[in-house]
Amino acid sequence: MDLDQLKFDSDGLIPAIAFDVDTNQVVMLGYMNAEAVQRTAETGIATYWSRSRQKFWVKGESSGHTQEVRWMRTDCDADTLLLGIKQNVAACHNGYFSCFYRELKDGVWEVVEERVFDPEDAYGR
């Protein structure tokens, strides 16, 4: 795989937007380093780099809510990735299908989506 065309930031990361191909929804934004891009391409399962934990993070490794990658694209500057994925169950650890479940309405962030699972059942919290 030719990773030389991608432009990683000074930390060696590139933003990766996950887009569910069945619902046409953006479900999350994560970051990948070169090895995470390689692992994702090889396995077909989205693998990110956790900036807070400083380790690889296979989406769904603890919940089973994996992201099956259908395609991977880069933007015109080659500094952002777009992953066309099939999201299994939900992307958000708070129980929503998408991490973008709040909308600004009259200056207040309001929940506009329904929960699809109970986080306590998936994560024990």
Read off the pLDDT of residues 33-84 as tens digits, 9 standing for 90 and up. 999 999 999 999 999 999 999 999 999 998 999 999 999 999 999 999 999 9
Residue 85's pLDDT is what?
Answer: 99
Confidence band of 3 (pLDDT split at 50, 70, 90): confident
Residue 125's pLDDT is what?
Answer: 56
Domains in the chain: how many in total? 1
CATH number of the domain residue 37 falls in: 3.10.20.810
pTM: 0.92
Residue 47 counted as domain residue: yes
Question: 53 lies in which domain range?
Answer: 14-112
Residue 55 counted as domain residue: yes
State the DSSP string of 58-114: ETTTTTS--EEEEEEEE-TTSS-EEEEEEESS-S-TTSBSSS--EEEETTEEEE-S-
